[in-house]
Amino acid sequence: MRTILLISPYWREEHRWMVSSVKLAELWQRLGYKVVVACMGKGNGTRCMGHGTTVEDVSPTLRIYRMKDIFLKDPLNFGIAFGFAGLVRRLIQEEKPDHIVFNKVLFWTSFAAIPLRLRGYRFDVLTDALVGITWQPRSLIPKIIMSIGGWTVGWLVLLCARRVVTFHPQPPRILRLLGIAKKTQVIPTGIDPSGFGLRASDSEAQFSILNSQFPILNSQFSITYIGRLESIKGVDDFLAAAVPLQKTFPGLRIRVVGWCPPGNVLVERYSSTVEFMGLRSDIPEILSQTDIFVLPSHSEGLSNALMEAMASYCACIASDTGGNRFLIENGISGLLFPPGDREALRAHIRRLIEDSAKRRMLGQAARKRIEGQFSWDVVSRMYRNFFGDFLHSRSGDS
């Protein structure tokens, strides 16, 4: 059995779920690979390697090494784990992987790529966004810090990579400027759509048509956001746009699902009118009860939450940035709005509340798009070709 060493910033913690790493590891295991993960954070490791590193044998095909880190909170959301590069070198010697893959650029874990390349190892870099280059935080100081990091250390990591995979298309001009255009290709993470299906609200019988102007005036109608409550996600824009609509539509149910830091100002401000549901394990059920899904990020990679909502036949509204515009064909499989434009977002929400035919059309087109271009059946073939091109490559080849 061939082995992939996946180097990821995090794995699964309540405020640091690295969804792309988790999903990719699951996909690669389905393809017959053993996956060894090196990441930062805390876990339920059954063995200790010292220096704050634990080992968890999840299954015969998945082993996770976690090194304890120092975490800088939002808006930086950046962990530091001294000695991580040494851990990676040790794992290469012990696990002898056939492929070495770094997920994400400009995290502390990706910095291990530079000394690795100097030692002659070859590796691939996967990323959903070019942080500091095509992905920017909202506030000025973090934006400056990440821009400097992106165009220096992040750029060097990309240059060191044998191949670069982006989860959604990056601007060709930027790729040429970085000097990586010829070795970059797009492979989305994708999802398994079989676990998501028709929404419970697709039955129009549950809506009371009270008048032609507001057909669901007193009926329950659900709008959902799923993700972390971090500044970059634009949840403040979503709530500022959606909550005033409850005056016109008394049955409007607004839900926020995901990790929330204690004392969050949005919870304090909107707790009387918005359901803050915290982390949940029943996302397919929540999406089956969702009429409109909103992803209002100011910068975004390829959102797993948005793909799951599309696979659930939800009518989706997302900011026109990053992977959102790759997933959604505006007006066909969803609606896009300029990041931060609360009035445009409110207008989209109102339109879809009032137009059930448009909601159904968008939801059906969204599901079709996921099945056709972002399902694991499609992505699996891409990764078979990707790894198959280097079947004879070993981690120590130069």
The 10s digit of each residue's pLDDT in 100-141 is 999 999 999 999 999 999 999 999 999 999 999 999 999 899
The span from the CA of 113 to the CA of 149, in Å, is 15
The answer to whether 291 touches 201, Cβ cutoff 8 Å, is: yes
Tokens of 88: 């990676």
pLDDT tens-digit series, residues 173-224: 999 999 999 999 999 999 999 999 865 544 343 333 333 344 444 457 999 9
Per-residue pLDDT at 200: 55
For 262, other C-beta atoms within 10 Å of its C-beta total 5
In order of their start, the domains of the chain are 3-190+376-388 (3.40.50.2000), 193-374 (3.40.50.2000)
- The Cα–Cα gap between 10 and 103 comes to 10
DSSP-based three-state secondary structure for 382: helix
Cis peptide before 75 (omega within 30 of 0): yes
SS (H, E, C) 336-347: EECCCCHHHHHH
Residue 327 has pLDDT above 80, yes or no: yes
Instruction: Output helix, strand, coil percentages for the chain, rounded to the nearest 5.
Output: 40, 20, 40
Residue 395 has pLDDT above 70, yes or no: no
pTM: 0.89
Q: What are phi and psi of 51, to 5 degrees?
A: 55, 35
How sure is the predictor about 14, in pLDDT bands with cuts at 50, 70 and 90?
confident
